[in-house]
Amino acid sequence: MVQHDSEVDHSAQVDNNSEMDNSAEVLLRDAIQRLSAAGVPSPRVDAEVLAAHVLDVSRGRLAAMAIAGRVLTAAQAARFTELVGERADRVPLQHLTGRAPFRHLQLRVGPGVFIPRPETEQVVQVALDQLSSMAQSRPAGWRPRVVDLGTGSGALAAAIAAEHPQAEVHAVELSAAAAAWAELNLAPLGVTLHQRDLREVPPEWEASFDVVVSNPPYIPEGMVPREEEVRVHDPELALYGGGAHGLAMPFAVIETAKRLLVPGGWFILEHAEVQAPALAARCRTDAALSAVATHQDLTGRDRATSATLDEEPASPMKEWPA
């Protein structure tokens, strides 16, 4: 059981010091060494996050506790050491804390669901900017319908619902395990979750959404991720996009988006940097799409593509310019 800072058993200092040093400072130092030896990329941060999680305090408070020479109870020290061991075995940090920070949210995550990545936060920002821009040319009180295809933990749908509360947000996920996590994150925000295949949406959904967002699987077949956290713990269904270039699922998202969007509707999908030219070309040669744009992540890499579904049905002239 997690014990609050105020409940830390100071008497444990006497008992435990006779056998082992359970001071926060020493436990953290040992954990950092153990995580470094295991090749964990950010050993200090991970050790502090795990200790803060066990003590149910912020990392800032934990730092203050360590400086003040605070001692953990035997149970807290044992729990911390157990979690550090699992992290050294490369279980994702977010599985151990049960939470993944995503924009302003702390999403519930665990085995069976893809851990949301920081670059996806940028895709959300582009979508929010687009919603604000679209609202300017729509009647007052416009309530955009947004759908997130392949929602995983619900990251994109949850962030959009939280930050653009006027939107009616839906989310689609095929995996039952992922959908269970998504439901925990999405229900409190009023997002409707549909457990189904994003390639087989019902006819009544057609031409009914203003915005489609997606971070689909896109890793090429045979390109196995190096990090054990990803290779072993992210579900295969979340990783591999299908086909030699991993583009089968991204292309499927574009096809579904075209069916779901109202004329003038807009979609964005995340992808790998190397896939940007192929996806932009696919959209530019599609007679029904226009305003194709490539978007960079915070490190300047081309990581998302967006396009608008034309207001008018495509005319043959669009393909055969004079």
Q: Choose between 88 and 100: whose C-beta lies nearer to ligand SAM.
A: 100
Q: Tell me if 119 contacts ligand SAM by CB under 6 A.
A: no
Which residue, 16 or 122, is less far from ligand SAM as judged by CB?
Answer: 122
Min CB(155)–ligand SAM separation in Å = 4
- Applying CB under 6 A, does 174 fall inside the site for ligand SAM? yes
Query: Is 297 a residue that touches ligand SAM (CB under 6 A)?
Result: no
> Which residues make Cβ contacts (< 8 Å) with residue 312, sequence separation at least 6?
263
**163 closest CA partner among 189, 141, 139:** 189
Assigned token pair, 166:
């006027």
Which of 73, 215, 256, 308 lies at the binding interface for ligand SAM (CB under 6 A)? 215
**Is residue 152 at the binding interface for ligand SAM, with CB under 6 A as the rule?**
yes
Q: Which of 49, 62, 84, 172 binds ligand SAM (CB under 6 A)?
A: 172
Structure tokens at 196: 């189904």
Residue from 49, 146, 178, 279 binding ligand SAM (CB under 6 A): 178
> Is residue 156 within the footprint of ligand SAM (CB under 6 A)?
yes
Instruction: Find the helix or strand (DSSP H, E) in which 25 lies.
Output: helix 24-37
Q: Which residue has the tokens 């400072």?
A: 25
Stretch that binds ligand SAM, among 30-38, 158-166, 197-205, 256-264 (CB under 6 A): 197-205
Closest by alpha carbon to 73, among 4, 123, 127, 122? 4
Task: Please state at what angle helix 248-260 crosses helix 276-284, rounded to 10 degrees.
Answer: 40
Q: Which of 249, 246, 263, 254 is nearest to 292 (CA)?
A: 254
Is 112 among the residues that bind ligand SAM (CB under 6 A)?
Answer: no
Percentages (nearest 5) of helix, strand, coil residues in the chain: 45, 20, 35
Q: For residue 216, state whether it binds ligand SAM (rule: CB under 6 A).
A: yes
Contacting residue, 31, 238, 268, 289, with ligand SAM by CB under 6 A: 238
**Residues engaged in binding ligand SAM (CB under 6 A):** 114, 116, 120, 150-153, 155-156, 172-175, 178, 197-199, 215-217, 237-238
